[in-house]
């Protein structure tokens, strides 16, 4: 018997979005079916099946989540963490401009480090408070970065990949580190 766990990110996504009363049963059924499929097919085929089930269940789950009271709580937490992240980023930017290097070119180099660090911290804080809040926080980060790119906040010309990096890595750093830390914590308690 091969012992393999289903895709971590798909599990985390479902854990974040499924309502509490159904979370354990739905995930348990999916994981059980995944284990059966991995016995008869390859890990890739079983993982592809698991991802398809997760993706198919997302639209109705998100719709029911948006219609529930839990959504307002998650959005409120995401807004609070977003304000915390903004404050943290503002303080870091101020310290860089006053203490490290006041010129704009150094700020362009250090901006991704500060941004990604604050999004990782914000994602972990939001996930610690409430799992579903990280999805809304990632959405808020995506919208903010897209608006800032459109407004052209940076006065120094930067290549397209620099802006694309902010647009893609920002939301991903909100979502992925809590998933990885949660998975490592789970594995630490099992062994």
> What does the pLDDT profile of the chain (191 residues) look like in tens digits?
445 788 888 887 888 777 777 788 888 889 899 999 988 888 899 999 999 998 898 888 777 777 777 778 888 999 999 999 999 988 888 888 777 766 666 777 788 888 889 999 999 999 889 877 888 899 899 998 888 888 876 666 677 777 888 888 888 888 888 877 765 565 565 54
φ, ψ for residue 42, nearest 5 deg: -80, 165
SS3 73: helix
Measured distance CA(43)–CA(151) in Å, rounded = 45
Overall pTM > 0.75: no
CB atoms within 10 A of CB 133: 27
Query: Which letter does DSSP use for residue 99 in this model?
Result: I
C-alpha gyration radius of the chain: 19
Query: Which letter does DSSP use for residue 96 in this model?
Result: I
- Scored b (16 or more CB within 10 A) or e, 75-109 reads bebbeebbeebeebbeebbeebeeeeeeeeeebee
Measured distance CA(140)–CA(153) in Å, rounded = 18
């Amino acid at each position: 018997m091969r012992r393999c766990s289903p895709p971590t990110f798909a599990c985390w996504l479902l854990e974040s979005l499924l309502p509490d009363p159904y979370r354990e049963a739905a995930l348990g059924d999916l994981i059980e079916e995944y284990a059966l499929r991995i016995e008869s097919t390859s890990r890739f085929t079983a993982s592809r099946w698991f991802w398809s089930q997760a993706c198919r269940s997302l639209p109705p789950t998100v719709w029911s989540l948006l219609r529930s009271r839990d959504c307002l709580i998650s959005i409120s937490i995401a807004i609070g963490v977003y304000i915390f992240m903004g404050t943290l980023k503002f303080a870091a930017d101020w310290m860089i401009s006053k203490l490290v290097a006041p010129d704009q070119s150094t700020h362009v180099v250090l901006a991704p480090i500060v941004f990604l660090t604050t999004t990782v911290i914000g994602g972990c804080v939001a996930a610690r408070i409430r799992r579903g809040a990280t999805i809304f926080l990632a959405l808020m980060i995506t919208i903010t970065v897209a608006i800032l790119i459109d407004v052209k906040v940076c006065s120094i010309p930067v290549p397209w990949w620099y802006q694309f990096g902010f647009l893609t890595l920002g939301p991903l750093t909100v979502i992925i580190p809590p998933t990885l830390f949660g998975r490592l914590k789970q594995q630490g308690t099992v062994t």
